Structure 1
Amino acid sequence: MTDEFLRWLLGVITSTGLIGGVAFLMRDTVANFLSKTVEHRFEKKLETFKAGIRDNEKELDQIRSFLVSARRERDAAIQAKRLEAAEILLRARHGLSELSMLVEYMKILNTEQILKAKDPKIIEFVDMLMKPFDVDEKIKKLGAIDKTIPRLYLSENSLKAFDAYQSIIFHAAMMLKLLSIPLRDKGDLIKTGILSKTVIDLVPASKEGFDKWGEEYAYYWSTYFHDQILQALRHEVSGADDMTRDAESVQRLALDSRRAQINIRSSLEQIGLPENLIKPDEAAAASSSVADKAQA
């Protein structure tokens, strides 16, 4: 039994030695095999990882392209809305300008003297001045213009200039309407300070004129805001900064002023009212001069 055990032990030792010898002799081969196996698996995983990165990059490129396209479409849509808003505001501006002659009348008329006078012919006189303009119908049409889009897509500069211009036109129309109503103590219905504040907030340099000439000084800013609307819209839509005063507006203002003078004097003469219902020329000229300096 001892012999069998020794033979078994010798066989084990021989096998182990043989295997160890073979392993020793083939160590480089095994090492290379294992190294290549590991390297192959690593490269395979690396390729898979790179492929994943490429797929992710493609997805990112697609996302970037989508965002750029969406932004471009959004900008185009906003610009289209901005153009639509500008057209609406210009249409409203044109409607207001059809009543600009009322502002010229208010520059000339001596409101204080008219309110003091008790002559019933004054109502006829004011009605004669207002009749050609169909004020109620024009204001109704202006009110029907939906300004939601302009207020959503236009800047404050454009909107504030428009609001100021509209306030001046409406104030002149309201004052003439008031003068044409047969009421006593109509002067008590006139509220001051609101219109002047609107103008002063936008043009602080105008305060000096309001301090000197009162609320009616706002009428001399009508053409200024009329032009400011167009300038602000040009800048907003096309980026143009044209700050020069429109020569056509200046010419139109001079013609309107002259026509207003002729109409008022003709109406006074026709109805038989005194010319003290008109402001002295020097007062009107002084107000206009102060306004021109502030607007320069």
Structure 2
Amino acid sequence: MELIPWFPALTTTGLLAAALWLGRNLIATRLTKSVEHEFNTKLETLRAQLRDSEERLKAELRAKEAEISALRSGALSALASRQAALDKRRLEAVDQLWSSVSALAPARALAATMSVIKFETAAPLAEKDPKTRQFFEMIGAGFDPRTLDQSGAAKARPFVSPMVWAIFSAMQAVTVHSVMRWQVLKGGLGSRDFADHEAINKLIKTALPHYAEYIDKNGPSVYYYILEALDSQLIAEIQKMLTGAEADKASIVQAAEILRQSNEVLKEVKAGEGTA
């Protein structure tokens, strides 16, 4: 009987507790869903931003790739154009150089005649005998060393290989040596040789090592035939240059030595011309 007064209070308390429990669960559920919704919304926004960034990055990469491709294409095109221009100029240089070789023909014809004359014997005779001097003047009738046009070779030099220029220079030196000896005989200047034939021999042996024994045995009397060998060597070096063959270190050193010796011989000859 005493529990009856407490029953309403217990019922009210129980209902209130149940209501509080349900309310708490409802609030927790709603908060969870709200947070989850907000998280999903932000996640989708972030994903969208990442997709946009990825697309922009891809677009930028494609643009840069196109730019690099254009630059590469332009560079290759310019390189090809420069190479074509260089190849064309190199062919022109070969023509210019060979024109200078052809211009040496009168001097080489004189060198052919001088190859059968013993300079050491003829020089004293020419010094004393006017008829001997006249004979040598007739040998080179119409030839004037000053008319030799070598300007084409000078224009060609920057565009030919070191070995091509060295062989051509050796050819010039050997030819000019023979011409100078003819001038000495024609002028009756005695046995004085304005270019040391030992220097010429050394030059030839540097340019054509396989002719060393031949030169040591025969000396200046075979210079004309050496010119023919230099012709063949020059053609071979021109062909090598035009095919793009790279010069090795030994060839470069050899070319430099040939050129140095050629310049020394030509310098001696020019000094002799001034004296004569």
Q: TM-score range by the shorter chain?
A: 0.7 to 0.9
Structure 2 matches for 1:28-67, cutoff 5 A? Answer: 28-67=36-75
Whether the 8 Å contact between 1:95 and 1:138 is mirrored in structure 2 is no
* Residues in 1 aligned to 2:193 and 2:60: alpha-carbon distance in whole angstroms: 82
Deviates more, 1:223-232 or 1:153-162: 223-232
1:114-133 alignment to 2 at 5 Å? 114-117=122-125, 118-132=128-142
Q: Is the 8 A contact 2:100 2:152 kept in 1?
A: no
Query: Which residue does 1:236 correspond to in 2?
Result: 241
* Deviations 1:162-214 (CA, angstroms, capped at 9, x unpaired): 1122112211111101111133x432544232211221111112221232223
The equivalent of 2:172 in structure 1 is: 166
Q: CA deviation at 1:18?
A: 6.0
- TM-score, with length taken from structure 2: 0.72
| Partner residue, 1:92 | 100
> Which residue does 1:227 correspond to in 2?
232
- In structure 1, C-alpha distance between the alignment counterparts of 2:242 and 2:174, rounded to whole Å: 25
Q: Bigger shift: 170-179 or 146-155?
A: 146-155
Q: What amino acid sits opposite 2:231 in the alignment?
A: H
Q: Which residue of 2 aligns with 1:11?
A: none
Q: Secondary structure at the match of 1:109?
A: coil
Q: Of 158, 179, 182, which aligns to 2:185?
A: 179
Cα deviation for residue 53 of structure 1 reads: 0.8
How far does residue 103 in structure 1 lie from its aligned partner after superposition? 1.6
| The structure with more radius of gyration | 2
CA distance in 2, matches of 1:149, 1:190: 27
On the 8 A contact 2:99/2:152 being kept in 1, the answer is no
In 2, the alpha carbon distance for the partners of 1:16 and 1:79 equals 91
TM-score with structure 1 setting the length: 0.68
* Counterpart contact for 1:126–1:176, Cα < 8 Å: yes
In structure 1, the residue matched to 2:85 is 77
Taking the aligned partners of 1:136 and 1:25, their CA distance within structure 2 comes to: 110
User: Which residue number in structure 1 is paired with residue 160 of structure 2?
Assistant: 154
RMSD across aligned positions (CA): 2.6
Change (3 A) 1:34 1:70: same
Aligned to 2:116: 108
Distance in 2, matches of 1:180 and 1:169, equals: 17
d(CA) in 2 for partners of 1:205, 1:29: 95
Q: Secondary structure at the match of 1:131?
A: coil
Unaligned segments of structure 1, at least 5 residues:
1-13, 241-296
1:131 and 1:75 map into 2 onto residues whose CA distance is 47
Shift of 1:26: 4.1
- 1:152/1:188 CA distance change after superposition, 3 Å: closer
Aligned AA (1:99) = A
Q: Aligned with 1:224: secondary structure?
A: helix
Structure 2 regions of 5+ residues with no counterpart?
A: 1-21, 246-276
Partner of 1:207: 212
Q: CA deviation at 1:123?
A: 0.4
Question: Which one has more relative contact order, counting CA pairs under 8 Å at least 6 apart?
Answer: 1
* Closer/same/farther in 2, CA of residues 153 and 64 from structure 1, 3 Å limit: same
Structure 1 residue 230 displacement after superposition: 2.7
Cα separation, 2, equivalents of 1:16 and 1:152: 97
- Once the 2 structures are TM-superposed, how far is the Cα of residue 66 of structure 1 from its aligned partner? 0.9
Deviation of 1:215 after TM superposition, in Å, equals: 3.9
Q: Percent identity?
A: 24
Contact 1:100–1:169 (CA under 8 A) maintained in structure 2 = yes
User: C-alpha distance in 2, partners of 1:23/1:197?
Assistant: 105
Distance 1:90 1:108 in 2: 27
Contact 2:171–2:230 (Cα < 8 Å) also in 1:
yes
